[in-house]
Structure 1
Amino acid sequence: MLLVQKCVRIELVGSNPFIQNSKENMANTRTHLTRFHPYHGENIILSEDNTVAYRKTSFANALTFSEKPLQPGEIFLLEIDQNERGWSGHMRLGLTQLDPYTIFQTGVPQYALPDLASKGTSWIYGITKAHNHTYECEHERKHGKCGHRKLKSDNGVIKTCRGTVPLHILKPIKHSRDILPTDTGSRIGVMYIPINEHEANMHYIVNGEDLGACVKHIPYSDVPLHVVVDVYGTTKKVRIIQLYGVPTLQSACRDAILQHITTKGVSALPLPKMLKEYLLYQN
């Protein structure tokens, strides 16, 4: 009960949105961060708690992977932080069933395309300046079946397996209709959406727009899928945009309370009705 009272008091009185002096809270926040895998190409330098990938030289040997497998419906979002003139081509992005540790042990390929893709069970594309059209197959377009199973927002919010994501976060900070997918500030995401128990379609999200299924019938139920990012060509530096990693004080308190009490026991707590509804995800 003391835990409940403390959390409620913080929520009603506290003005700081973060519990800065709590080591436990900092550790919890860190575990929620989306990061790059510690195994990567030899020209990659990771910084900011492995959330930023920088290619230090050349235009190759810059493969990176997500630290954890991507979950069905989870969005992995990147922002292009820096470009470098003098090269051709741009960042490559996709999914792989190959384990990053195994890849590292056998030697990280120079390129995602064609080197990594040729090993099989990888689905990767290069991001281009014209990467702003919706993927569709001719048959589906003619029969009016295109565009299903795309991201849908409800009052500007998208629901994913790891929580809700405001639609505006998927868009560039300095939003402009003229921004190209390969420009600095552009935000590029990848996700896969199950179509049955064993297969899924891979989608790109480019500056807030779901481009539809670019690869179909990817097996996902038996082997984990990691994100592949090749910081290639003119793309010099990319940053992971945290969609799920920083809990609010409200949600941190709710999580703490629900770790010590069942949802059935919430009704017996000496709390206002509004707080009980919040604990039960009813508002």
Structure 2
Amino acid sequence: MPTTRFHPYHGQNIRLSNDDMVAYRETSFAHALVFSEKPLLPGEIFLLEIEKTERGWSGHLRVGLTQLCLADHFELPQYALPDLANMGRSWISAVTKTHNRMFTSNNQTSQEDPSSHETVLGSTDVILTPRGKVHRSMLQPSCRAAYRERNVRDRLGPRDGPGIGGGGDGFTQDSILPTDVGSRIGIMFKVTNNEARMHFIFNGEDQGPSDDVIPYRKGPLFAVVDVYGTTKQVRIVQLYGVTTLQNACRDRILQLIAKKDISSLPLPKKILQFLSYEIEL
């Protein structure tokens, strides 16, 4: 299967790299829209990892789906919210530090708790999608890298419960916020009883269905991402395609070590560059 990439049409402040799998906002906090290169299939997961953040801005990543035709090269607005959403045929939500439920298209909080819904991910370690099987661990964050970075950055001691903050490797699944470096954000839509609803998957947890019913038969649905505010750089996590095994190995290593510790490992230079996403083997 082909590698998942960003579409070549994107906001003016975006620079794509790593074979169009990494999106970096070069300046400002606006004009940073990017899209999936190809439309999503029902049940297909488009997965991102936040690689860099930048202080000094408010707000965070915005994600969702759009039926707008990218081949038309329509004039891209500054922001996904509210600009792109107001153009119609787009369903966008802002990712927040405490994001734990779905939003409607006008970004109002849904009244239903996502825990009351059956997860689209199932209950086993292997998740079946129309593009192939996905291991649940791939949806989980580059945990320890992000956790250690927050400890060094904040130095606030315990924040969210036992085992978080302080010294040592006290990582738990709650140690990372959806807006942190290392956090993984998934976008998908599921069709049930001929109705399509969008789902977000934050660090391996399904956030429940959106309130909006998406007219999926009226046109292809592309993932849309706004590298907005404090979010500076995102990378597509390869769940499918020819690079899956390479990325799975690399991602698993990075889940066990902090990225800042990579340079100290007794490994050949080429391997260290590979772990830092500077080259593909």
How far did 1:174 drift? 2.0
Confirm whether residue 169 of structure 1 aligns to residue 166 of structure 2: no
Which of 188, 191, 196 pairs up with 1:191? 188
How many residue pairs align between the two structures?
212
Distance verdict in 2 for CA 1:148–1:54, change over 3 Å: same
Gap runs ≥5 in structure 2 = 104-108, 145-171, 246-281
What whole-Å deviation, never above 9, does each CA across 1:99-137 have from its counterpart, x for those lacking one?
Answer: 1222x3x31111001111111011000100001347795
How far did 1:247 drift? 6.7
| 2:207 corresponding residue in structure 1 | 211
1-structure distance, mates of 2:81, 2:186: 18
Contact 1:55 1:231 in 2 (8 A): yes
2-structure distance, mates of 1:52, 1:247: 14
1-structure distance, mates of 2:219, 2:119: 22
Confirm whether residue 101 of structure 1 aligns to residue 71 of structure 2: yes
What whole-Å deviation, never above 9, does each CA across 1:201-240 have from its counterpart, x for those lacking one?
Answer: 1000000000110243211123100110000000000000
What whole-Å deviation, never above 9, does each CA across 1:79-103 have from its counterpart, x for those lacking one?
Answer: 000000000000100001101222x
SS of residue paired to 1:54: strand
- The within-5 A match list for 1:106-125 is 106-125=74-93
Distance verdict in 2 for CA 1:161–1:59, change over 3 Å: same
| 1:19 corresponding residue in structure 2 | none
Contact 1:123 1:215 in 2 (8 A): no
What whole-Å deviation, never above 9, does each CA across 1:172-226 have from its counterpart, x for those lacking one?
Answer: 12254210000000000010000133x2010000000001102432111231001
Distance verdict in 2 for CA 1:134–1:218, change over 3 Å: closer
How far did 1:151 drift? 1.7
Contact 1:203 1:210 in 2 (8 A): yes
SS of residue paired to 1:57: coil
Distance verdict in 2 for CA 1:145–1:182, change over 3 Å: closer
Query: Which structure has the greater CA radius of gyration?
Result: 1
Contact 2:60 2:229 in 1 (8 A): yes
Percentage of pairs with the same residue: 59
Distance verdict in 2 for CA 1:180–1:247, change over 3 Å: closer
Runs of 4+ in 1 over 4 A off after TM superposition: 133-138
Contact 2:102 2:199 in 1 (8 A): no
Which of 85, 90, 95 pairs up with 2:60? 90
